[in-house]
């Protein structure tokens, strides 16, 4: 029998956490949960502790930690940023699933990489903020970063260790989100609940909004640039409304290889958990005769200005992706609270990027806005983008 693999899940109560636990429930003989984290959904975490009996957990605050300790006296319970890092470095875990949303995952995900583990990476924002540092750290520590985002996982499956110099381009597919067919003149009437209803995938709120603006695909271009050491010019995005082909690789001889499957995150997650083996998954068969046709169209730039912003940031590289990421997180958070209109998301981000252009040309521009040398630089650049966006949102309220 194959030895059980010990798993830690950062962000166990979210959508990636749910899909990971669903795969693990199908393979109790192969996987053991050793540690879990959550932010505020402590009741859900308690249910998971009851079911999976981990040895360690981490929650947001000390008072929440006390509550969990009272319910499970035998458990080691941590809290705050140090708690997340304790779990990420847990010596008992062989695989860490990075499923926290946003820049909050930066330090714990980096710690998992530094400690040389296999890291199933769904949390793309840290890679956007500090991709070079992650890749360098993984090569020092021997960590294996397993691409879990469905597009990157498709490419990972297709490449299967092939050398990168034979690749002509990577083609990332995108569903186009809920507004792919909406006439542009109706964009001012988009409601929050419309933006939150993705046609193909069930995901957390932040990535669902990023999918509606296609900022998500822009972040994924940056993610692909680092994971596959690919120049941005060789990464293409196409709209594929069925979300059956998860991405493609075109090779130097004109062959294109793709990975197909239902839009279900359990498929890429199980590939990462089982890697280098494939696991059995109880999912319906993919019957292409029922699907009938697969469609592909190019991206209309006027419909998805956020994608253009992110690709520009990818080209400019250095601190620009971190600035854009911070600004986007702040703007999306505000949008989710109902404080903004959908069309304002891109306008605010464009303004932040113009503000960045002017400060970056000044002689007294801080070094962290010129380049990312350390994780602290990435945090500061992200914070700069966040504050710049907040300022612009306040100006808008005052106007």
Q: Residue numbers of the site for ligand NAD (CB under 6 A)?
A: 11-17, 38-39, 41, 99-101, 104, 122-125, 149, 201, 203-204, 207, 265
Are 264 and 283 a contacting pair, CB within 8 Å?
yes
Q: Which is nearer to ligand NAD, 11 or 274 (CB)?
A: 11
Q: Which is nearer to Mg ion, 57 or 214 (CB)?
A: 214
245 binds, among Mg ion, ligand NAD, none (CB under 5 to 8 A by kind): none
How many angstroms separate the CA atoms of 299 and 214, rounded? 10
- Least Å distance between CB 399 and ligand NAD? 31
106 binds, among Mg ion, ligand NAD, none (CB under 5 to 8 A by kind): none
Q: Which is nearer to ligand NAD, 98 or 230 (CB)?
A: 98
How many angstroms separate the CA atoms of 159 and 251, rounded? 10
329 binds, among Mg ion, ligand NAD, none (CB under 5 to 8 A by kind): none
17 binds, among ligand NAD, Mg ion, none (CB under 5 to 8 A by kind): ligand NAD
Q: Which is nearer to Mg ion, 150 or 325 (CB)?
A: 150
How many angstroms separate the CA atoms of 272 and 275, rounded? 5
In the complex, which residue's CB is closest to Mg ion? 149
How many angstroms separate the CA atoms of 313 and 222, rounded? 9
350 binds, among Mg ion, ligand NAD, none (CB under 5 to 8 A by kind): none
How many angstroms separate the CA atoms of 132 and 373, rounded? 9
Q: Which is nearer to ligand NAD, 349 or 369 (CB)?
A: 349
> Given the rule CB under 5 A, which residues bind Mg ion?
149-151
Q: Which is nearer to Mg ion, 174 or 369 (CB)?
A: 174
User: 141-171 burial by CB neighbour count: b if 16+ within 10 A, else e?
Assistant: eebbbbbbbbbbbbbbbbbeeeeeeebeebb
How many angstroms separate the CA atoms of 126 and 144, rounded? 16
Are 211 and 198 a contacting pair, CB within 8 Å?
yes
With the CA atoms of 116, 117, 119 and 125 taken in that order, what torsion angle do they form, in degrees rounded to the nearest 10? Answer: -40
- Least Å distance between CB 100 and ligand NAD? 4
């Amino acid at each position: 029998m194959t030895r059980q693999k010990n798993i830690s899940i950062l962000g166990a109560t979210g959508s990636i956490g749910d899909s990971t636990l669903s795969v693990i429930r199908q393979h109790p003989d192969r996987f053991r949960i050793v540690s879990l984290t959550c932010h505020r959904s402590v009741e859900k975490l308690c249910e998971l502790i009851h079911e999976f009996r981990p040895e360690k957990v981490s929650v947001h605050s000390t008072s929440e930690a006390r509550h969990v300790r009272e319910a499970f006296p035998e458990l080691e319970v941590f809290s705050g940023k140090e708690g997340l890092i304790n779990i990420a470095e847990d010596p008992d875990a062989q695989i860490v699933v990075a499923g926290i949303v946003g820049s909050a995952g930066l330090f714990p995900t980096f710690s998992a990489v530094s400690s040389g583990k296999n890291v199933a990476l769904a949390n793309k924002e840290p890679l956007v903020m500090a991709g070079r540092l992650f890749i360098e750290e993984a090569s020092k520590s021997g960590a294996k970063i397993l691409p879990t985002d469905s597009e990157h996982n498709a490419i990972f499956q297709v490449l299967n260790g092939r050398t990168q110099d034979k690749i002509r381009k990577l083609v990332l597919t995108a569903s186009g989100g809920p507004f792919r067919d909406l006439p542009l003149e109706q964009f001012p009437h988009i409601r929050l609940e419309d933006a939150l209803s993705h046609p193909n995938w069930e995901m957390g709120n932040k990535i669902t909004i990023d999918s509606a603006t296609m900022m998500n695909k822009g972040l994924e271009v940056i993610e692909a640039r680092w994971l596959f050491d690919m120049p941005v010019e060789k990464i293409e995005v196409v709209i594929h409304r069925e979300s059956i082909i998860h991405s493609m690789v075109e090779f130097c001889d004109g062959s294109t290889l793709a990975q197909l499957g239902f839009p279900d995150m359990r498929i890429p997650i199980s590939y990462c958990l089982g890697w280098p083996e494939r696991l059995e998954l109880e999912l319906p068969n993919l019957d292409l005769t029922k699907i009938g046709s697969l469609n592909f169209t190019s991206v209309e730039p006027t419909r998805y200005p956020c994608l253009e912003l992110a690709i520009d940031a990818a080209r400019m590289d250095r601190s620009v992706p971190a600035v854009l990421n911070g600004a986007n997180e702040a703007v999306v958070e505000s949008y989710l609270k109902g404080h903004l209109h959908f069309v304002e998301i891109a306008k605010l981000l464009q303004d932040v990027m113009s503000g960045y252009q002017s400060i970056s040309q000044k002689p007294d521009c801080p070094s962290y806005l010129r380049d990312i040398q350390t994780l602290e630089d990435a945090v500061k650049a992200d914070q700069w983008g966040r504050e710049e966006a907040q300022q612009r949102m306040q100006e808008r309220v005052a106007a």
